[in-house]
């Protein structure tokens, strides 16, 4: 029996490694190979075209520029909000902090559609201003501008930076600020001499993570910016789908992979620094006592509420408000072929596809993520293999979904892995993105299990499987639910890789929304709004479930 269990453990070790090797490392390695040997011989034409073309250099510069600006404005807006959440207590504080995470779990397609519903040419603000002042043209012209891209990036990444800085700041000692106040430090000295130096690891880590997300932004830039504001991610898409220029696309992907890998390595280093800087005397929030404090707290809460809720409320209202009255017409149109296209796929079928792919993704991600968590925690094999597996978990997060989709096209088109035209690639691609979330959700709960529990059960004669089923599984079940819910929500909203691997007859909800937004006509726009609301409601339900089961310490990012 012991030999069977020992070989079974090694089999469990091989399973996630084989999955990542076949569907992540092999496609990425193929991109490397294709970048240097497009036709089977050593060829640097893809890199040469990038190095000699001002267009591609400008694309790289713009990608860095917009990511830097997005990061700067996000951190600038987050710092006062983080101060309020750390230092003050007020009604609904925990609820609002939890709700601030909602944008992060929303699909980029829904976020872009929500801002179009709010400040687009046919958005609520423009419609209201035109009716109020009898204007013939929308006064707010932000579509296909860098300003709108930056606004949406701040909305999307605000919660990420807020969570990191609040979590770190709450664990710092209040004695340093108290001592500085006693010594006569004014407000500016308190910020520049005390708070910012203490918060530097968290600020840099949050800024780096926001930079990574905005550097690889795809759906937001593609829908709201177009080719005029193309980033590396959008350029890879255009070179592959529109121009069929695979060598250049592979070279751009390789450049992006290397940049993101360096960023993720530096982020991991910052994480270790943050974990070693916490103290046992955390800051305790207090009530605002003066009118200045109440004004400061109220102003920041107003910004948070407006930033987070207005676009989403505008999306819902715009989908129901038609010709000056509430109507469900856009929702009833979801089953109709408005343009009589032969390629029409009913949106309701896309919803069914997304749910089916989401369930398959959840199953794969939960199995692989749990096994990887056991490997990292050295619970399957008595070696330090986890030290090498841990970076492997994060690699898909350092690789853009568009790059991953391109890797599938290049690598999985020959037997025995001829999956290029198969729908199977969709849940596989989604699982690669979702698995790290499951692993990082389960790992902290797994590490909190005292080794004495399974050892005592083993002494009493319990088999390894019985120990896992009766002891470990109940203790990690809440984290498994969180990870599974994350995986399902990620699959529903995944857009970048799906653009490459989805077949015309098996589109997902984000793909249908993108196609509808790109077609003229009020009916198509209305269908896009209605489907975005449905996707929003599903993601909102997933988010509420995550918050219901999430515990302090669940999830490491």
337-394 pLDDT, tens digit per residue, is 655 655 566 777 888 888 889 889 999 999 998 888 887 766 555 555 555 666 666 6
Name the nearest CA neighbour of 195 among 210, 178, 208.
Answer: 178
55: phi then psi, degrees, rounded to nearest 5: -65, -50
Q: What three-state secondary structure class fits 218? A: coil
- Helical spans, DSSP H, in 88-170: 93-99, 102-105, 108-119, 124-133, 146-170
Axis-axis angle for helices 2-20, 347-376 (nearest 10)? 130
* Residue 108 covered by a domain: yes
pLDDT per residue as tens digits for the range 462-476:
777 787 788 888 888
Residue 554 pLDDT? 40
- Whether residue 215 contacts residue 291, with contact meaning beta carbons closer than 8 Å, is answered with no
- Residue 492, domain CATH: 1.10.3720.10
In a domain, 505, yes or no: yes
**Total structural domains in the chain?**
1
What angle, 0 to 180 degrees and rounded to 10, lies between the N-to-C axes of helices 108-119 and 124-133?
A: 0
Looking at residue 557, its pLDDT comes to: 47
DSSP 145: S
Predicted pLDDT at 136:
80
263 within some domain: no
End-to-end CA distance of the chain: 38
pLDDT-flagged residues of the chain (< 50): 1, 280, 552-557
Of 412, 414, 441, nearest to 429 (Cα)?
A: 412
- The H-assigned helical ranges of 412-472 are 425-447, 452-459, 464-467
Q: What is the pTM of this model?
A: 0.78
Q: How many CB atoms lie within 10 A of CB 503?
A: 12
For 442, the 3-state DSSP assignment is helix
pLDDT value, residue 45? 67
Q: The domain containing residue 376 runs over which residues?
A: 12-20+72-199+285-549
Position 556 scores a pLDDT of: 47
Residue 99, in any domain of the structure: yes
Q: Is 154 part of a structural domain of the chain?
A: yes
Report pLDDT for 454: 77
Rounded CA-CA distance 291/285 in Å is: 17
Whether residue 385 contacts residue 12, with contact meaning beta carbons closer than 8 Å, is answered with no
Q: Residue 165 has which token pair?
A: 């800085």
Label residue 487 exposed, middle or buried (CB < 10 Å: 0-12, 13-18, 19+): buried
* Cα–Cα distance for residue pair 210/68, rounded to 1 Å: 9
Instruction: Report if residue 248 sits inside a domain.
Output: no
Specify the pLDDT at position 381. 52
Q: Compute the mean pLDDT over every residue in the chain, rounded to the nearest whole number.
A: 78
Residues 498, 500: Cα–Cα separation, whole Å: 5
pLDDT tens-digit profile of 63-100? 999 999 999 999 999 988 888 888 888 887 777 777 77
What's the farthest any 2 CA atoms get from each other in the chain?
82
Residue 516 included in any domain: yes
CA 97 to chain centre: 18
DSSP 314-383: HHHHHHHEETTEE--HHHHGGGS-TT--TT---HHHHHHHHHHHHHHHHHHHHHHHHHHHHHHTT-SSSS
Q: Is residue 268 part of a domain?
A: no
Alpha helices in 377-400 (DSSP H): 386-398
């Amino acid at each position: 029996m012991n030999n069977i269990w020992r070989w079974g453990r090694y089999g469990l070790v091989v399973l996630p490694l084989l999955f990542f090797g076949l569907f992540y490392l092999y496609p990425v390695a193929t991109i490397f190979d294709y970048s240097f040997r497009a036709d089977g011989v050593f060829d640097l034409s893809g890199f040469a075209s990038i190095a000699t073309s001002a267009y591609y250099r400008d694309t790289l510069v713009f990608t860095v520029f917009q990511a830097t600006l997005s990061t700067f404005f996000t951190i600038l807006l987050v710092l006062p909000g983080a101060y309020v959440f750390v230092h003050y207590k007020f009604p609904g504080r925990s609820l609002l902090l939890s709700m601030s995470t909602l944008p992060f779990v929303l699909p980029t397609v829904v976020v872009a559609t929500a801002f179009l519903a709010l400040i687009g040419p046919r958005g609520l603000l423009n419609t209201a201003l035109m009716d109020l002042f009898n204007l013939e043209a929308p006064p707010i012209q932000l579509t296909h501008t860098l300003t709108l891209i930056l606004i949406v990036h701040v909305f999307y990444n605000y919660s990420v930076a807020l969570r990191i800085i609040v979590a770190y700041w709450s664990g710092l000692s209040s004695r340093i600020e108290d001592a500085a106040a006693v010594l006569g430090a004014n407000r500016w000295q308190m910020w520049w001499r005390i708070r910012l130096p203490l918060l530097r690891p968290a600020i840099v880590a949050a800024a780096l993570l926001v930079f990574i997300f905005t550097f690889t932004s795809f759906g937001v830039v593609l829908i709201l910016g177009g080719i005029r504001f193309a980033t590396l991610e959008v350029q890879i898409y255009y070179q592959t789908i529109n121009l069929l220029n695979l060598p250049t696309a592979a070279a751009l992907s390789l450049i992006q992979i290397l940049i993101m890998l360096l960023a993720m390595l530096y982020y991991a280093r910052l994480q270790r620094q943050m974990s070693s800087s916490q103290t046992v005397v955390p800051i305790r929030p207090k009530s605002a006592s003066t009118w200045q404090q109440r004004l400061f707290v109220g102003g920041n809460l107003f910004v948070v509420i407006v930033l987070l809720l207005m676009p989403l409320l505008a999306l819902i209202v715009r989908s129901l408000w038609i010709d000056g009255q509430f109507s469900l017409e856009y929702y009833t149109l979801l089953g109709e072929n408005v343009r009589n296209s032969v390629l029409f796929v009913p949106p309701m079928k896309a919803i069914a596809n997304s749910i089916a792919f989401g369930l398959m993704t959840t199953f794969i991600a939960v199995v692989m993520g749990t096994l990887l968590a056991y490997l990292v925690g050295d619970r399957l094999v008595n070696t330090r293999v986890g030290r090498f597996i841990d970076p492997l978990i994060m690699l898909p997060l350092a690789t853009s979904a568009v790059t991953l989709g391109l890797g599938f096209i290049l690598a999985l088109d020959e037997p025995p892995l001829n999956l290029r035209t198969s729908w199977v690639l969709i849940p596989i691609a989604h699982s690669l993105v979702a698995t790290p979330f499951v692993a990082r959700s389960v790992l902290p709960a797994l590490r909190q299990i005292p080794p004495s529990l399974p050892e005592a059960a083993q002494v009493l004669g319990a088999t390894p499987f019985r120990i896992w089923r009766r002891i470990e599984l109940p203790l990690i079940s809440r984290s498994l639910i969180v990870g599974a819910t994350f995986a399902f929500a990620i699959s529903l909203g995944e857009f970048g890789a799906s653009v490459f691997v989805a077949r015309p007859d098996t589109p997902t909800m984000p793909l249908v929304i993108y196609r509808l937004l790109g077609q003229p006509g009020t009916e198509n726009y209305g269908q896009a709004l209605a489907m975005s609301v449905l996707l929003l409601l599903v993601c909102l339900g997933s988010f509420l479930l995550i918050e219901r089961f999430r515990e302090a310490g669940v999830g490491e990012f």
